[in-house]
Each structure stands twice: as C-alpha cells, then as structure tokens.
Amino acid sequence: MKIHSIVVGVILVVASVLVADNVQGQNKATGERPGAASEIGTGIDAHVHQMLKTGRRARAFRFDTFGSEAFWGETLQLHKAIAGEKNDLDDPATTLALLRLNAVVGVTGLFNKQGNLTSMGLQCALCHSTVDDSFAPGIGKRQDGWANRDLNVGLIVSLSPNLTPFADLLGVDVATVKKVLTSWGPGRFDAELDKDAAARGLVLFNGTAKCATCHVPPLFTEPGNNLHAPGEIPVDSFQADRSPTHMYRTAPLAGLWTHQKGGSLRDVLEHYDALFKLGLSEPEKTELTEYLKSL
C-alpha cells in the first residue's frame, strides 16, 4: 500500500465538514453521540461548554498549533506524506483541499503563495475532539472534548519522511522506531518513546556521571553548604564576584538555572566530562542531556 493511502485513511478519520462552532452533533442512526451514556456525555458537554465559552479559549483549543509545525513539519516532514501520491480514490488533493478550508479537526496546513503544502502543525483538538459521523464515517459535526479513539498516532508518525531525530535520541535505527510506532494501534499514544533516553540519563546522573554527588535529589543541590570557589569548578569569577561570598552555589536543577560555562546543556556536560575525566560516550551525553531537560 502506498504511503499516502494510509495517511489519508487515518487523517480523514478526524476530517469534518465544520458546522460553525457546533459541538452538539448527534449520531444519525441513534440520535445520540457515540458512546454517550447520558450521564457521562452530559458531563463532558457541560465541561466543554464551560471551558470553551470564551472565544479566546476556543480559538486556542481548536486552531493554535503552539509552534508544533517546527517539529511535525520542519523536522519530521510529515506534511510530505500527507501530500503524497494518489492511490485509487485516496486522492491527496482531497486532503489538501480540506486543509485549505481548515476542515481537518486538529491539523493546520501551512501553504505557500503557489498553494503548495510546506509544513503542518497540530492542535489540542487532534486528540481531544472527534466527529459524530453524521455525514459519513469520519465526517460530520465536531465534538470537542471527546477522545479521538480512532486516531492512530503511531502509524501517522511512522510515515514521516524523517524519523532520524527519534532514532538518534534513542540510539536505535529508524526501522526499530517504525516498528515501535506501528505497534501502538488506534487510540493509543505511548509517550515513553521519547522518554527512554531520559530514563537512561537518570541512571547516568546517579552513577557514572557523578552528577548526584553535588546535585543531590530531590532538591538537586548540596545539603548544608552548597557554595564553591570559582577555581573548584573551574570557571571565571565574573558572576561570583558580584556576590558577598565571591562564590558560586550548586544550582538546584529542578528550578530555573543557568551555568557560567557554556551556552547549552551539552556545553556544560562537555566541560565536566573533561574536568572529571568521566569518559562519557556520545550516546551517554545525549541521554544525560535528555534527563536534565526532563527535570
């Protein structure tokens, strides 16, 4: 099966013929929402109405991508799969037309002046809204606040032309990443895919990298006196000289902090790897960086 036929099949599950801000759709056959066992359904409706009763909240939920196109479009290049080859009735032109009309729930397509899809972003609604199938399977009035249980996140992500960022992060090949993604199935999203590296980084933090010697959990600073002279680290005394003690404190890593040595976490790791002769490998440095980012 060609790549586009799979993407269209999955994306159109959440496609809808939008009826201006209508969240009161009904199932054509039963007159009820799918799975809306009244009490639960009424509770969901009430909560959605309360949360989205202001235009600002509704716009953020339904249309704001929060800059996610930098990842889904520019990095993974998922938009190229959506705009892929035609296969029988699964015409990519249909998907593109729906995106231009802003009629795909949870997905924003970014087009250039020539009308070509150049990137894409995802909204909250992709996972937290569905449709009532009142027009056809996967097409109808939107239902905000209802879980999109048909959405196969893993399959969609697996079709991205560039999965190298995940492979590099996890220290595996792209084939392994694809295998994991396609194993999830509809309605499931295993967030552990990009957290495995952080878990391995925790082991390094407490062990080989010796970070926990000074950055003691749970505060990630030193009990008692946590001040150090610049020469101990060693870094210049520019910032330390601005304090009464002329010393640096061991920063509590769970809060906001910066470091005098280097402009990134990787720079800091490189500094201490050399200073303490830790001999960390490149994958270990990546895993340790991911753990620090998770704090």
Mean pLDDT: which of 47-61, 167-181, 273-287 is highest?
A: 273-287
Tell me the whole-structure pTM to 2 decimals: 0.49
How many distinct helices (H) and strands (E) make up the chain?
13, 6
Contacts of 87 (CB under 8 A, 6+ apart): 1, 2, 4, 5
- Tell me which of 93-102, 228-237, 238-247 is least confident: 93-102
The string over 152-170, giving b where at least 16 C-beta atoms fall within 10 Å of a residue's C-beta and e elsewhere, is bbbbbbbbbeebeebbebb
Residue 208 in this model has a pLDDT that exceeds 90: yes
Summarised one tens digit per residue, pLDDT across range 156-198 is: 888 888 999 888 877 788 998 898 888 888 877 665 666 667 8
Question: In which residue are the tokens 């009490």 written?
Answer: 39
Report the pLDDT value the prediction gives residue 38, as an integer from 0 to 100.
54
Taking Cα atoms as reference points, which of 260, 257, 255 lies closest to residue 242?
A: 260
Distance CA 86, CA 92 (A): 6
